[in-house]
Amino acid sequence: MKKFKRVLIANRGEIAVRIARTATRLGLEPIIIYSDADRYSLAVREAKEAYRLGGNRVTESYIDADRVLAIARESKADAIHPGYGLLSENSAFARRVIKEGFVWIGPSPDAMDAVASKSKAKELAIKAGIPVSPGFQGKQDPSLLAKEALKIGFPLLIKAAAGGGGRGIRKVESESQLQSMLEAARSEAVNSFGDGELILEKYIEEANHVEVQIFGDESGTVVHMGERDCSVQRRHQKIIEEAPSSALTPELREKITSAAVSLARAAKYTNAGTVEFLVTPKKEFYFLEMNTRLQVEHPVTELVTGLDLVEWQFRIADGETVPLEQLKISFKGHSIQARLYAEDPDKSYQPQTGRIEHFEFPNEVRVDHFLTPSAVITSFYDAMLAKIIVHAKDRGTAIKYLSKALDRTLVVPLTTNRQLLTEVLLDQRFQAGTFYTRTLDQSPLKSTTDISEAFETAALLFYSRSREAIEPHLIGWSTRPAAIFVTVTDGKMKRTLTFEES
Ligand code: ADP
Ligand code: ADP
Ligand code: MG
């Protein structure tokens, strides 16, 4: 890169690891910052240099802009990559970064401001002739909001205009709930997002979440990298994502990707962004919002395009034009990502915390994670442990690969959503492409294995202790409800050791 060599990564977890790897490959020097809870993170090991932020809560660590910038100066960083979440969508922070002479690896602050708020983005989309989810955005007068809500009808969603990550969204079932929910939404929006603005949207009962990855540059060029389907969600948060989307026909794909590109042009957008839509079974589509950052699910786009999105972010921030013209961006096969969370799906997705005694991920597929043998999962950050990502020639094969990969994934002794992810992959509706954004919340799937935590721990500890002895003969292992299979061979014969719960 011409403008920078030392890149401070103002983030944590798997995304810090992910960004550090591309930085190193490009000859850059990744600098990591870490809170006390994160001192054993893999990110610290991937860094050229790592600086202690201190603190644990994000407010006293990763989103303390003064502290982050002090370390940027101290470490003689030239550039700052914000990753996703945390400070990534904060245009005031981006402005400070630039003013203090660092290169900001992200969209220009003006472009961020043009689309950051869900209400402004919808207005911009309407002006650009893009269909938006029916609803209301505008003056915040309480009686006007109530009147508009009645016009829209129930159920409807109240959203914080500044919200994100599935937070700040409330579903209102009937008029009787409206007033109290508007008030609760308002105070939550002020407290969580520092901005009380609310928007209203008709609740679309059946829809796929389809989003388009775009990139823009200073010269005004905008290209897209096709779509991702993120319809498998729990509580408005994505857990399985894929590319391409089975909800699109070639004509619809053309329309939706063009809409995304024209919105980005209207916003004079630079660097990476994602334009989100809902697509109904009747093939109507509605713009929802734009995310001005790298997306958690960007790997599926990388696997179908063969491109490194973080590399593109660096190159564009360095002043290059978009590295490939639209026609040179091509798509191959099918990719699916599953987000492994330390949470208990049977207990309202309650996050799980504690020390990880043992973890194993499959070798054959891409796994983005940040675990080390000393990893402790705390309640300070979100509970995502890893992303397991497969690529295959078609969707059916990709589903098979991912199921297999999940069978070979183990984090002991924390309860995870692994079994739920497997159940979704096996679900008829998922296989048919009719798994909508609310399907999981509406009809919860059986998610616990019969396998008890204590048993799983015991079997795996036994296995990891005897592993050295078994290793030369080891072919593989997999977990099933109530059993763990370890397959060994002496070169002639194959034998499977079964640890069965009794
Ligand atoms: P994606 O939109 O890429 O699927 P998520 O919606 O899960 O990703 O959000 C990415 C990360 O950023 C998560 O850690 C989420 O908690 C966080 N996040 C996103 N937007 C916000 C926001 N406005 N406020 C707080 N956290 C956010
Ligand atoms: P966030 O900033 O939290 O990602 P979004 O506006 O993207 O907020 O909404 C999050 C998710 O909620 C969407 O991916 C979609 O599944 C669901 N959702 C949002 N708006 C609607 C709507 N009008 N009708 C039905 N589902 C919706
Ligand atoms: Mg969204």
pLDDT tens digits for 183-200?
Answer: 999 999 999 999 999 999
Pocket of ligand 1 (CB under 6 A): 84-85, 89, 163-166, 237-238, 291, 295-297, 382
- Give 461 or 7, the one with higher predicted confidence: 7
Ligand nearest to the CA of 133: 2
436 versus 457: the higher-pLDDT residue is 436
Percent of the chain with pLDDT over 70: 96
Q: What pLDDT digit, counting tens, does each position of 135-168 carry?
A: 999 999 999 999 999 999 999 999 999 999 889 9
Q: Are 232 and 244 in contact (CB under 8 A)?
A: no
pLDDT for the residue numbered 192: 92
Lowest mean pLDDT among 41-45, 85-89, 373-377: 373-377
pLDDT tens digits, 446-460: 776 555 666 666 676
pLDDT digits (tens, 9 = 90+) for 373-382: 888 999 999 9
Which pTM was predicted? Answer: 0.93
Provide the pLDDT for residue 404: 93
Q: Give residue-wise pLDDT tens across range 97-140.
A: 999 999 999 999 999 999 999 999 999 999 999 999 999 999 99
pLDDT of residue 337: 98
Q: Which atom of ligand 1 is nearest to the CA of 162?
A: 23
Kindly state the average pLDDT of the residues 158-183. Answer: 95
How far, in Å, CA of 370 to CA of 375, rounded?
A: 9
Residue 229 CB contacts under 8 Å (≥ 6 apart), including other chains: 208, 209, 210, 241, 242, 243, 244, 245, 246, 247
pLDDT of the residue at 16 = 98
Our mutation pick for probing the ligand 2 site, out of 136, 193, 200, 209, counting the most ligand atoms within 8 A of Cβ, is: 209
Q: How far is CA 247 from the centre of its chain?
A: 20
Number of H helices and number of E strands within the chain? Answer: 17, 26
User: Above 70 in pLDDT, residue 461?
Assistant: no
Instruction: Look at strands 49-52 and 483-489 and give their pairing.
Output: unpaired
The minimum-distance atom of ligand 1 relative to the CA of 293 is 3
Centroid of ligand 3 to alpha carbon of 358 (angstroms)? 33
Neighbouring C-alpha atoms within 13 Å toward the C-beta of 26? 24
Known catalytic membership, residue 293:
yes
Measured over the CA atoms of residue 230, residue 252, residue 308 and residue 312, the dihedral's sign is negative
3-state secondary structure of 91: helix
pLDDT at residue number 101: 98
pLDDT at 491 over 90: no
Predicted local confidence at residue 455, as pLDDT: 66
The pick from 278, 291, 441 for probing ligand 2's pocket by mutation, whose C-beta has the most ligand atoms within 8 angstroms, reads: 278
Q: Is the pLDDT at 78 greater than 90, yes or no?
A: yes
Choosing from 12, 253, 293, 315, the catalytic residue is 293
Higher-confidence residue of 472 and 266: namely: 266
Kindly list the protein residues whose Cβ atom lies closer than 6 A to any atom of ligand 2.
133, 157, 159, 163-166, 169, 201-204, 207, 209, 233, 236, 276, 288-289, 437
Mutating to test ligand 1, I would choose from 62, 115, 169, 296 the residue with most ligand atoms within 8 A of its C-beta, which is 296
First and final C-alpha spacing in the chain: 59
| pLDDT digits 0-9 by tens, 194-241 | 999 999 999 999 999 999 999 999 999 999 999 999 999 999 999 999
> Cα 91 to chain center, whole Å?
20
d(CA 193, CA 288): 18
Provide the CA 367 distance to its chain's centre, in angstroms. 14
Q: Under DSSP, is residue 181 helix (H, G, I), strand (E, B) or coil?
A: helix
For residue 233, the ligand closest to its alpha carbon is 2
Task: Kindly give the distance from the C-alpha atom of residue 237 to the centroid of ligand 2, in angstroms, as a whole number.
Answer: 9
Which stretch of 320-329, 364-373, 487-496 has the lowest confidence by average pLDDT?
Answer: 487-496
Question: What average pLDDT is seen over the chain?
Answer: 93
Q: Is the pLDDT of residue 335 over 80?
A: yes
For residue 8, pLDDT over 90 is answered with yes
